[in-house]
A = this chain, B = another copy of it.
Amino acid sequence: MPVGTAATVKGVSTPQLADTGAEMVLANTYHLHLQPGETVVAEAGGLHQFMGWPGPLLTDSGGFQVFSLGNINRIDDHGVVFRSPRDGARITLTPERSMEIQMALGADVAMAFDQCPPYPASEAAVAEASRRTHAWLERCLAVHDRANQALFGIVQGGCFPHLRRESARIVAAMNLPGIAVGGVSVGEPVEEMHRIVREVGPLLPEDRPHYLMGVGSLRELAVAVAEGFDLFDCVLPTRLGRHGAALVGGERWNLKNARFRHDHTPLDPSCPCLACRQHSRAYLHHLIRSQEMLGRTLLSLHNLTTLLRFTRAMAQAIRDGCFAEDFAPWEPASPAAHTW
């Protein structure tokens, strides 16, 4: 899922977004609650109407942003009190309130309100956040209107295997239409993330989508798909694009680099995106050097297209029975590590 924080994937129009191969898009409850407010979105007929995206949409719970961006005043079993970064107003977010907001936003999938502990955190702190996350999930279920929107639960447990196993068991038992693993990609070493993915993946119900939150890069996607994950979100492709970086052949290229000044070849000849189809590295270099909006948009389109092509290639490899050979284990020698 490309990330459309404020009901827009930054710099990308909806027809351009469709051209990247995107299907499902994520929007941030926290940002939309602050601006324009869920009332405005609901008036428009919901997020699909408001942002002009007919495809599937998922909203996160707002929890992650409150914990990472917010000016937190208090966290307790009731919920979280924080100050709005816009006007300093005191805002209380609880499981009930998150459900209310997400139901008003009207995406296809809402996420349970969870507590995502920072990394590193003590075992006691992670256990407390997990306990609270499970209690909050029950409260989310009690108020959420499941007839009109799917609700996914979130597994927490930090880097403690027994807490992850316990959380996976509790959340899996709730019989939800999808299950997410949170608290990854929060600063832990990449080996830790792989360990969590390998630990938790096999414990999740096979017949429901598995969503690994905030991931990722090509390697992390391949590692997680090998463990049965289906759904991901990451700001990386658009954030890199806005900063002038392109994902090519498994590398990150800084298009500002002088080596592209006279390079009139396509960015990635194998890529069908607008940037690669119609423009050259020299032109993209020029746009980034000139701080032109179009450069940021074209690189965002390219990076989104690359990640989405990669996920489709993995899906095809699974259907063709060659996923293990081509994509997993993700080693320098594996074919995908060369091609992407």
| Partner-B contacts on A (CB < 8 A) | 6-8, 10-16, 35-36, 40, 43-45, 50-52, 261-262, 264, 274, 278-280, 282-283, 285-287, 289-290, 292-298
Contact = CB atoms under 8 A, between A and B. Distances in A.
Contacts of A283: 7, 44, 50-52
Given A13-B16, A13-B298, A278-B52, A287 B40 contact: no
A54 to B, nearest CB: 10
A237 to B, nearest CB: 15
Which are the 10 A-B pairs with shortest beta-carbon distances? A11-B293, A36-B286, A52-B278, A8-B294, A6-B290, A44-B264, A8-B292, A52-B279, A35-B290, A50-B283
A274 B316 CA distance: 34
A292 B10 contact: yes
Nearest to A50: B283
A219 B25 CA distance: 43
Contacts of A36: 261, 282, 285-286, 289
A13 B297 contact: yes
B297 A293 contact: yes
Contact of A293 (B50, B296, B298): B296
A283 B13 CA distance: 13
Nearest to A11: B293
- Tell me which of A274, A286, A295 has the highest count of chain B C-beta atoms within 10 A of its own C-beta: A286
A289 B6 CA distance: 11
Contacts of A50: 280, 282-283, 286
Contact of A262 (B6, B40, B51): B40
A26 to B, nearest CB: 16
Given A7-B283, A11-B297, 17 more contacts: A6-B287, A8-B287, A11-B293, A12-B294, A13-B274, A13-B298, A35-B290, A36-B285, A36-B286, A40-B262, A40-B282, A43-B282, A44-B280, A45-B264, A52-B279, A293-B293, A293-B297
Contacts of A294: 8, 10-13
A14 B278 contact: yes
16 contacts: A8-B292, A8-B295, A10-B292, A11-B293, A12-B294, A13-B16, A13-B274, A35-B290, A36-B261, A36-B285, A36-B289, A40-B261, A52-B278, A52-B283, A293-B296, A293-B297
A336 to B, nearest CB: 30
A189 to B, nearest CB: 34
Contacts of A287: 6, 8
A304 to B, nearest CB: 14
A271 to B, nearest CB: 15
A298 B7 CA distance: 14
A75 to B, nearest CB: 27
Nearest to A292: B8
Contacts of A43: 262, 264, 282
Contacts of A14: 278
